[in-house]
Structure 1
Amino acid sequence: MKNHYKIPMMAGALSLMASAAMAQSLDEKVNAIFASSTGWFVNLIFSPFPGTSFPWIVGWLVVAATIFTVYFGLIQFRAFPHSIALVRGDYSDPDDAGEVSHFQALATALSGTVGLGNIAGVAVAVGIGGPGATFWMILAGLMGMASKFTECTLGVKYRNEYPDGTVSGGPMYYMVKGFEERGLPMGRVLAVMFAIFCILGAFGGGNMFQANQAHAQIANVVGDYPGWITGIIFAGIVFAVIVGGLKSIASVTEKVVPFMGVLYVVTAVIILLMNFDKIGWAFGQIFEGAFTGLGVAGGMVGALIQGFKRAAFSNEAGVGSAAIAHSAVRTKEPITEGFVSLLEPFIDTVVICTMTALVIIITGQLMTDPTTGLYMVGEGGMIQTVDGNSGVALTSAAFSASFGWFKYILAIAVILFAFSTMISWSYYGLKAWTFLFGEGKGKEVTFKVIFCIFVVIGAAANLGPVIDFSDAAIFAMAVVNIIALYFLMPIVKRELNSYLSRLKSGEIKKFN
């Protein structure tokens, strides 16, 4: 009798094993197709200067951030207090045109930047570039504040305002209108190029990378299973939110972003306080590694490259994406949103990324080997990370070293980070899509469906091809955007001087 029961049970088990094997095979096929079709694009964006290992795109971002910092007279430091006042709503007029408040615009843009770049991205940076990469991340974040200020001011100034109260803005619009205002050619060509890259960036860094690392952390908690399952669940939830438009997105992000930020930062602060005696040593490692490389492959240059790459991927300063979200703010003063936006790289990179790096360094999760380079120490032993393919696992191991249960909290944080980033980038991609193909419900739904399909692809692919494509797509946006910013920054300076003179004279008054 027992054998009669065993046969169907064994058959069922074999069937489940076969299904699992087929599912994993599907993941592998998706990854192979994705990797083979995007390699040329990645190579183009990250090709180094001749005779060096320094990617030209990193130099492009560094030079731009430096120019904007000098041109606007260290605006990121001068305007910091007024930026806080604007976010509090001290100067907000509810009758101004726009869809969202200063705080909601900041939360929406932050939800697109404060994400897995702060968790997995930092781990990749220190896993390849060593502790010194943190120094360059901080420097990139501080300088990037000026880039963000420039692009978001222009985003509001040249936005389209529609009769129903909705707005569309971002680099596509200031490239067309701003160039026409200055009598410059090529504005529309740049706008089309940016829109194409923005859609690719939305599918890559704002979507697939998020889904990929969310699945990695969930699998780390519950056990390995096919990525496409996570992708389908995420796609359904994301679609349910983004179908409601920007106001729906803003109402979600203004709640999710503060919660997930506080959850993550408070845990990091507790760990740092528990290891207070090591903080000085950790900063010593960061500064020493920034200029020596501490024996890591590439030395100082390797640390610099990784620091700037991951900072740019995390805070997106100069990329132009945040200008799309900030364009929807309720204000009649474009420069005010420039002030608000410069807080993003500070919160994202200077605060959160630094905390992540400090926890990784202090908890002893990094060690160097003189023959093989840098390694990651995880719960299951030593895992080599010179190729950056472990991502969120290093951060999880670092936090779990102090709190064994933190991997469960991190799983929640990763899901929230990934979710909020995806819904924000869906809006960025949608605005680029409608710029190319026109406004209309049918066109919007088409984009949203395609976006959700890429959620599934991202969860199923391996991190290597996903992170390479994500970086390339987002940095391609920066190439076009920064060209436009160079031509239009005199307009921003004019707006800045006008606003500051009126603020000083008392013409601009508080509403609250």
Structure 2
Amino acid sequence: MFLSLLNQSLDERINQHFSNATSWFVDAVFAQIPITNDVGIPWVLIVLILGAAYFTIYFKFINFTDFFTAIRVVRGTYDEFEEEHQVTVSNTVSKVDGDNPDTIRVEGEGEVTHFQALTAAISATVGLGNIAGVAIALGIGGPGATLWMVLIGLLGMSSKFVECTLGVKYREVNDTGKVFGGPMYYLKKGLKEKGFKRLGKLLAIIFAIMCIGGSFGGGNMFQINQAYKLFEHVTGAENSFIAGNGWLFGLIMAILVGIVIIGGIKKIANVTDKIVPFMVVIYMLAVFVVLGLNFEAIPGAFKSIWDGAFHPEGVIGGFVGVLIQGFKRAAFSNEAGVGSASIAHSAVKTKYPASEGLVALLEPFIDTVIVCTLTALVLIITGQIVPGTILSDEEGVLLTASALESGISWFPYVLTVAVILFAFSSMISWSYYGYQAWSFLFGRSRKTEYIYKILFCCFTVIGGAATLGAVTVFSDAMIFAMMVPNMIGLAILAPKVLEELKRYRNLIKDYKLQR
């Protein structure tokens, strides 16, 4: 009884304070540019799309031309370039205020492998946006929304390449080999090189603040809340043994998350490189079984996607549905252009920034082009989508669960396991993103580190206990707002990325000639 009253009071207080104090910020971030009398697109989404298209053209369609090179980098084909990572000096290190405070001798070593960096970043992107977001997008835009989703995923590969290359190029390493990187550093250091010292510092601070807020909200509370809702649903809904005890679910997850994140990026990567393949295999297995049972309907599903995408209503509804709903959750599903993934990729063991940029461009392909498309096919084939239906996040998850249940009755339980793993992996990765931003603002001492990690675990409990309401909207807005300083930096620093790409391509070219 007391806990129930506590949860209700907490929820009411959170929603009341956040809705009043942050409505202006949310309104500014989600301000829409009208497309028709009834439909508009948030301006931040237009910036992301235009930026992704610009980078795709600027780098001559690197998302296609270097796709297989990226796969070879992940497989370790070019690992010998790193000279077993014994690097004394890296010419990509930038001095700060006249000197380099970050132990140049270890620059280039990093903390994790290419594969671990990829799985750590994917763990933050593959999640509820692929499950609930796709159902919501198709509900608004119909089957045709899938094609626009794939198109934007392909363009996003170029944005991801740029930001993750810069993340490695401008990272900093302390005397113990611990890496600190991400937009905060390439905005501050990279723009200073370009003569925009004050602008770079301001943008870095803005990004860091938004990243911390996003890590507590969209990267934590939203994830745990939706995982709890699905778990409660499959175990009996209001009759479930855990009904009304979201705090307990949140507490258990907070303990598990705390055990992992205390160890830093190495511990996180050691977990994600096992969880991510496992959870994707679980989810894909469920999807493929449903598709296999309805194999004859697959051609018709693709036809409905194609026809719907170019039908006037499908173009508007599908495009808006994907952009606003499909990418809204989990930072536009693949986070391309937001800058968060570059934080994880900065910790990679390499002295060639472009190598990790190439690895990173695989993320949107896996997350959006593959996972989201297969989810859409299941929803279309099983007849779960009614175009014009506006769904909540919880309804989107349950709709996907119903689609999988049409294949085998116990598949919702499989989905529940996958969702909990998705949520857990997203949370531990976002905790690292938030801590990196936190350390940029407040220093790298053990005290500041543990303060952030304790706060993060506290928000996990809150996320399970409360109906988030305005908090979720606000945290979404903070993640969206990360895009503004990041995209400014990417546009200015694109020539630096091109230099690194040419350097790495020449290395590969020489390597092939010697074989």
Instruction: State whether TM-score is above 0.5.
Output: yes
Asked whether the equivalents of residues 122 and 357 of structure 1 are also in contact (C-alpha less than 8 Å), the reply is: yes
The aligned amino acid for 1:48 is Q
**1:502 matches 2:507:** yes
Give per-residue Cα distances to partners, 1:231-287, cap 9 Å, x unaligned: 122111111111111111111111111100111112211211211111122122222
**Does the 8 Å contact 1:289/1:303 carry over to 2?**
no
| Equivalences for residues 12-31 of structure 1 within 5 A | 18=1, 21-22=4-5, 25-26=8-9, 28-29=11-12
Match of 1:11 in 2: none
CA separation of 1:309 and 1:190: change in aligned 2, threshold 3 A: same
After superposition, residues 16-415 of structure 1 pair within 5 angstroms as: 18=1, 21-22=4-5, 25-26=8-9, 28-29=11-12, 32-33=15-16, 34-49=18-33, 53-92=40-79, 93=82, 94-96=84-86, 97-185=109-197, 186-222=199-235, 223=240, 224-292=243-311, 298=317, 301-302=320-321, 305-307=324-326, 309=328, 313-368=332-387, 373-374=388-389, 385-386=390-391, 390-415=395-420
| Deviation of the 1:310 alpha carbon | 5.5
Larger-Rg structure: 1
CA distance in 1, matches of 2:228, 2:139: 20
* CA displacement 1:282-338 (0-9 Å, x = unmatched): 122222333337689957544554455459521000111110000000001010000
Q: How many residues align?
A: 479
Identity %, equivalent residues: 54
**Contact 1:31 1:462 survives alignment (8 Å):** no
Query: Would the alpha carbon gap of residues 21 and 207 (structure 1) be closer, same or farther in structure 2, given more than 3 Å must change?
Result: closer
* 2:274 partner SS: helix
Shift of 1:469: 2.8
Per-residue CA deviations over 1:337-363 (Å, capped at 9, x if unaligned) read 000000000001100111111111111
The 1:209–1:241 alpha-carbon spacing in structure 2 relative to 1, beyond 3 Å, is: same
- SS of the equivalent of 2:63 reads helix
Matched, 1:429 2:434: yes
CA shift digits 1:471-501 (9 cap, x unpaired): 3121110111001000000100111112212
**CA-to-aligned-CA distance 1:374-424 (integer Å, 9 cap, x gap):** 2xxxxxxxxxx4455523111111111211101111111111110011000
Alignment of 1:485 with 2:490, yes or no, is yes
C-alpha contact 1:238 1:419 (8 A) present in aligned 2? yes
For 1:473, what is the secondary structure of its paired residue?
Answer: helix
Q: Distance in 2 between matches of 1:470 and 1:508?
A: 50
With 142-151 and 25-34 compared, the bigger mean Cα shift is at 25-34
* Structure 1 stretch displaced more, 223-232 or 487-496: 223-232
Report SS of the residue matched to 1:506.
helix
1:199 and 1:463 mapped to 2: Cα distance?
18
How far apart are the structure 2 equivalents of 1:85 and 1:345? Answer: 17
Distance 1:443 1:68, change over 3 A: same
- Taking structure 1 as reference, are residues 170 and 24 closer, same or farther at Cα in structure 2, changes over 3 Å only? closer
**Distance in 2 (alpha carbons) for counterparts of 1:260 and 1:386:** 25
Note the alpha carbon deviations across 1:116-162, whole angstroms, 9 max, x for none: 21112222222333322222211111000000000000000010011
Equivalent-residue separation in structure 2 for 1:465 and 1:148 (angstroms): 29
Other structure's SS at 2:386 match: strand
TM-score, normalised to structure 1, is 0.88
Equivalent position SS for 1:317: coil
Check whether the contact 1:135–1:307 (CA below 8 A) recurs between aligned residues. no
Q: Provide closer, same or farther for how the CA distance between residues 113 and 299 of structure 1 changes in structure 2, counting only shifts above 3 A.
A: closer
Tell me, which stretches of 5 or more residues in structure 2 are unaligned? 87-108
Asked if structure 2 preserves the Cα contact closer than 8 Å seen for 1:430 and 1:444, the reply is yes
SS in 1 for 2:415: helix
Shift of 1:366: 1.4
Equivalence map 1:404-483=2 (5 Å)? 404-462=409-467, 464-483=469-488
Specify whether residues 466 and 265 from structure 1 end up closer, same or farther in structure 2 by C-alpha distance, changes over 3 A only. Answer: farther
1:28 CA drift (Å): 4.2
Task: Give the unaligned 5+ runs of structure 1.
Answer: 1-17, 375-384
1:459–1:31 CA distance, 2 compared to 1 (3 A): farther
Change (3 A) 1:39 1:212: farther
Q: 1:65·1:147 contact (CA, 8 Å) conserved in 2?
A: yes
Matched AA of 2:137: A
